[in-house]
Each structure stands twice: as structure tokens, then as C-alpha cells.
Amino acid sequence: MSMIVCKARQATPFLRLTEEGPLLGSLEFSGKLLQGLEAAVKADLEPDRVTKIQILALMHLNNDGVGGNDRSSNHLAHAISTAWSLSLHWRVPGIPNQEQCSYLWWSLTSLDRLNKPLMGAAPFMIDDADVGLERPEKTSNDYRSHVINVTLTMGDLIKKATKVYKATSTARCDDQGDFPSLSEVTSGTSFNEFLQSHQGE
């Protein structure tokens, strides 16, 4: 989490790797954290694979520097392949943390869709036809359900918009017509229940 939030202006006075260490810039701070995380992942130091997926997904959000997009995409691919191996795309009876795993899976799906504009010719890694897990429904007392529904809707739009660019497409132009506005995409979403950071305040 520190690797991601270090880019926020409010974090600037606190970017030290040790209590008495030098104050670092956000790029240097996140870069050093990323190096440590990559070493830990390669050494397989995290025994809980769900936690490992969460770590890899957060690592994916860092795409700074030369080769940053490729490195970021590799972290996402690692997270998704680990999720496949755990069958997070299915509702498996008896899993005590099923809700957490469900949100994790759909978060990976959103990241896969939203990663497409950055990676250009790279294909989507998740095909909805292979998924046997229902999407979370919006509930009035759970802001996460609103956040994930907005990101999934945006991801669906990206999937639709990029269909014409697939290698097998015979379309000569984008024939998708009008896309919904942001207000339409977020219709029915209660922003009052979002965390303050998600409200953009």
C-alpha cells in the first residue's frame, strides 16, 4: 500500500525507508519498495496465496520507469494465473472468506480491462466465458460493491471499444455508436458511502 499512496502529496514528508533514513522522492521510494517486494515474491516468502495475489495486484499499479508498463503487466499476469490456480473464478462451497475472494477476483478482472489501453496490442487475460462467479451486487451499506460495479462497467466499455482492434476483426471502423456518459455509468451509485479518498476529496 505504501508503494501506491506514496505518490499522494500528503505522503511527501513521510517517505523514509527507516525511521532515521533520508527523505526520499516518491519515485525513488516506490522503486526501492518494489525491488524489495519483487525479491520477496521470487523467494516465495508469503505462504498465503490470497495475500500474495493482493500484493501482486498492488505491485501492478506501479508502472514507473523504463519498462514499467511491461513489468506492471507481468505482475498482473502473475496475480491472475495464481487466482486461476486457486479457482477464485468459481464459488467454491466451504471457503470461509468467499466474499473477500470474490471481490479480489473482480478487482483483477477490472485491472485486466483497464490495463488494455496501456498495453495496446496485448490481449485481455480474462475471458468472461470462463468465469463461474457472479458479479457483486450494489448494496446500500457496502461502498466496495459500488466501487467494483463502477470499475467493472468501465472495463466492459473498454472491452467493447477495443473489439474492433482484435486481430480477427473484419470491421473497418468502430461501429459501437454512442458510449454512455460518466453520469450514466455511475447511475445508482451512492458516492456518499465511498471512502473519502475515493470521493476525490
In tens, the pLDDT along 5-18 reads 888 888 999 999 99
Q: Average pLDDT, stretch 171-189?
A: 75
Contact 126/108 with Cβ under 8 angstroms?
yes
**Residue 200: pLDDT over 60:** no
HSE (side-chain half, CA atoms, 13 Å) at 19: 0
Neighbour-count burial of 141, counting CB atoms closer than 10 A to its CB (0-12 exposed, 13-18 middle, 19+ buried): exposed
Q: Who contacts 28 (Cβ-Cβ below 8 Å, separation ≥6)?
A: none
Q: Average pLDDT, stretch 30-55?
A: 93
Q: What is the pLDDT of residue 108?
A: 97
**Residue 121: pLDDT over 70:** no
Instruction: Quote the Cα angle for 90-127-165, to 5°.
Output: 165
Give me the residue label for grid cell 456518499.
192
Contact 104/50 with Cβ under 8 angstroms?
yes
Cα(14)–Cα(9) distance, integer angstroms: 10
Cα(90)–Cα(113) distance, integer angstroms: 19
Kindly report, residue by residue over 43-74, the tens digit of the pLDDT. 999 999 999 999 999 999 888 888 888 899 99
Q: Who contacts 52 (Cβ-Cβ below 8 Å, separation ≥6)?
A: 41, 46, 82
Q: Which of 89-93, 103-107, 119-123 has the lowest mean pLDDT?
A: 119-123
Residue burial 92-131, b: 16+ Cβ < 10 Å; e: rest: eeebeeeeebbbbbbbbbbbbbebbeeeeeeebbbeeeee
Closest among 160, 153, 69 to 110, alpha carbons compared: 153
Contact 149/189 with Cβ under 8 angstroms?
yes
The pTM (predicted TM-score) of the whole model is 0.85
